[in-house]
Structure 1
Amino acid sequence: GPLLAEDVRAVAPIARRADVPVISFSNDTGVAGGGVFIMGYTPAQSIERVVDHARRSGVSDFAGLVPTGLYGERASTSFLRAVEAAGGRVVALQTFDRAPRAVASAVGRLTVPYDAVLIADGAQTAAGAVPVIRRSAAGKAARVLGTELWNSDSNVGANAALSGAWYASVANNLYTQYAGKYRARFNAAPYRLSSMGYDAVLLTVRIARDWRVGSPFPASRLSDRDGFAGLDGAFRFGRDGIAERALEVKEVRGGTTVTVSPAPKSFR
């Protein structure tokens, strides 16, 4: 399927007229539905998962740091909804752009004490913000929370600044096995997102197992509520065409990452 949202928008009407489902690797929920299924990792699900874990662990007051732009807007909305659903409170929420020291400036505007702070950006940006958070009166003892973006950084566990931070993402155990086999065969590491392509092909093979060419494609099987198992764990498509994923919560600890809340094995 297409990777970028604009490509999905171009392909979708043509595929729809031909009654052909589209499985895209985009994470833009705005293009899902109407025969388009997206497999991309969405910020909403990882934020909901890590917020729920934090709340169950005793966190009540949350702060947020989100980048400007579409990702930040969606992360902000998801964060506010997730905290409310979990029974917590958002006591502060600040945005930042890509200018030098923008994150530090945003941290300085978090003046109300908070128990945890979500940094809805990559691990490197979060690591740069943590020292400023620790020097502040409001967040010196706060738990740092991250998003699914952290899982694409292979060095996140070795980043000492993020020690103790939690983030939610797909499980890596099956991906690690796949990456080892890939490296042995091609003498290079695969891209982390390549697992989506692998799972999409595996999914198509499974639902088309009994399909005969020339007969209607069994597209309804894509919406199986029991879901599917892949390299990235269990997933299923909702009626909106968005992949719901079983996520785990990891903690940065001792130079690596440790699973502190395992992902469900299935949706049954």
Structure 2
Amino acid sequence: MLGNLKRILAVGMGSLLLAGCQVIPGGESPTPDRGGPIVDQPTAPDRAVLPEDEGRHRVALLVPMSGSNAEVGQSIANATTMALLDTGAENLRITTYDTSAGAGAAASRAISDGNRLILGPLQRDNVGAVLAQARPSDVPLITFSNDTTVARADVFVMGHIPEQSVERTVEFAAKQGASRFAILAPRGDYGNRTTAAAEQAIMARGGTVVGVQRYDRGNTSIISAAERLAAGSSFDTVLIADNARLAAMAAPRLKDAGDALPSIIGTELWSRQDSLLSDGTMRGAWFSAVPDDRYRQFATSYQSRFGEAPYRIATLGYDAVLLTLRLTRDWRPGTDLPAGLLLDDGGFLGLDGAIRFNSNGIGQRAMEVRQVGNGVFTIVDPAPTGF
């Protein structure tokens, strides 16, 4: 559908389609926001806010537009507006509802306003409340969460899933000869998920997990955990399942700068973390993430329009609009989204590369493997462009 995404991003962003993307948060009178969506607080659904345009698909965007995550929600909302403008999508009306005061209430309002598809919510804790309102009306969700436990037949997880990043990197490392793996991961949900994914991926490729150390995040306990790992077992590859700063703290306890082994691998948390490039012990490390080339085009266009850089997650809002446009080929306005329409074995190419939804609702992404170099990240195994 994208054909030439670069051409689409360059399309003039003029004008009339802004009325197709409205925000209904806890504000007052309509106020523009740097050319972004229109903010409005109607007291009840009325024709001035949601016209009876039966030729358009009504789609709700559920994100926080106030509170601590307001900037993230606004960035996603701005990205959906960009997608409408860039594509000239006259058959969509996307209305944004603020989840900060209650995701269930926002979903109830969205359903009563006639929306037949929900993009969001952002946070996994809100999925249950939204689904309780959406399911009785047969309205599916495409959530921006990366929590696979919320995926259902009517809840499609679009976020970047850390387990997929780990699996991709383990697969690449195994092809380079890695066979004896160690794991260094924080306690908590993220550490549990990445550890389980690594263990499964390693065993599936004939490797062995020779050591696992967990630690409390937010202090220097990762250093002592790395020392215990290095003293307790012999490994050729170690996964550090944490951010760039903590990974750089642990690496000197695992190897000396310039040593080829053990290989260090990481997760999608290292994406765009330039601090890694100046650390000699991290040189040669591998990690996997969604491709960044289209994101850079998007970020430049976003900056010129809204006067600030987007949040990285904003691409999910843009891609959700592109995906919705693809669905409209076989979806008649005013009707329920046909069952199974989101399940396409060929996948969908968006700003974050190729993605397809499996029957369990989990979005499978094509990721690239990058290597930390001297001042630059190098793509050592490109992401597939399809499935």
Q: TM-score, normalised by structure 1?
A: 0.93
Matching residue of 1:30: 149
**Which of 286, 310, 318 is equivalent to 1:198?**
318
**Which of 123, 143, 160 is equivalent to 1:41?**
160
**Cα deviation 1:26-53 (Å, max 9, x = unaligned):** 1111111130001111121111110010
The amino acid across from 1:31 in the alignment is V
Matching residue of 1:244: 364
> Would the alpha carbon gap of residues 186 and 266 (structure 1) be closer, same or farther in structure 2, given more than 3 Å must change?
same
RMSD: 1.8
Q: Residue 143 of structure 1 contacts residue 164 of structure 1 at CA under 8 Å; is this kept in 2? A: yes
**Cα deviation 1:78-135 (Å, max 9, x = unaligned):** 1110000111111111101025321111111112111111011111111111112126
* Percent sequence identity over aligned pairs: 47
> Would the alpha carbon gap of residues 8 and 152 (structure 1) be closer, same or farther in structure 2, given more than 3 Å must change?
farther
Q: Do residues 131 (structure 1) and 252 (structure 2) align?
A: yes
Aligned-residue offset at 1:158: 4.7
Q: TM-score, normalised by structure 2?
A: 0.65
Q: Residue 156 of structure 1 contacts residue 252 of structure 1 at CA under 8 Å; is this kept in 2? A: yes
Q: Do residues 163 (structure 1) and 267 (structure 2) align?
A: no
**Which of 120, 132, 155 is equivalent to 2:241?**
120
In 1, Cα distance between equivalents of 2:267 and 2:367 = 11
Q: Do residues 256 (structure 1) and 376 (structure 2) align?
A: yes
Q: Do residues 8 (structure 1) and 8 (structure 2) align?
A: no
Aligned-residue offset at 1:162: 2.1
**Which of 351, 355, 380 is equivalent to 1:231?**
351
Q: Do residues 220 (structure 1) and 340 (structure 2) align?
A: yes
Q: How does 1:44-59 map onto structure 2 within 5 Å?
A: 44-59=163-178
The DSSP-based 3-state class of the residue aligned with 2:359 is coil
The amino acid across from 1:254 in the alignment is N
In 2, Cα distance between equivalents of 1:26 and 1:154 = 25
Q: How does 1:140-179 map onto structure 2 within 5 Å?
A: 141-151=261-271, 153=273, 155-179=275-299
In 1, Cα distance between equivalents of 2:274 and 2:320 = 23
> Would the alpha carbon gap of residues 178 and 63 (structure 1) be closer, same or farther in structure 2, given more than 3 Å must change?
same
Unaligned 5+ residue runs, structure 2? 1-119
Larger radius of gyration: 2
In 2, Cα distance between equivalents of 1:76 and 1:146 = 11
Aligned-residue offset at 1:153: 3.1
**Cα deviation 1:129-161 (Å, max 9, x = unaligned):** 1112126xxx98311101111115355445544
Q: Aligned pairs, how many? A: 265
Q: Residue 248 of structure 2 contacts residue 276 of structure 2 at CA under 8 Å; is this kept in 1? A: no
Q: Residue 138 of structure 2 contacts residue 336 of structure 2 at CA under 8 Å; is this kept in 1? A: no
> Would the alpha carbon gap of residues 150 and 80 (structure 1) be closer, same or farther in structure 2, given more than 3 Å must change?
same
Q: Residue 139 of structure 2 contacts residue 336 of structure 2 at CA under 8 Å; is this kept in 1? A: no
**Which of 309, 321, 324 is equivalent to 1:189?**
309
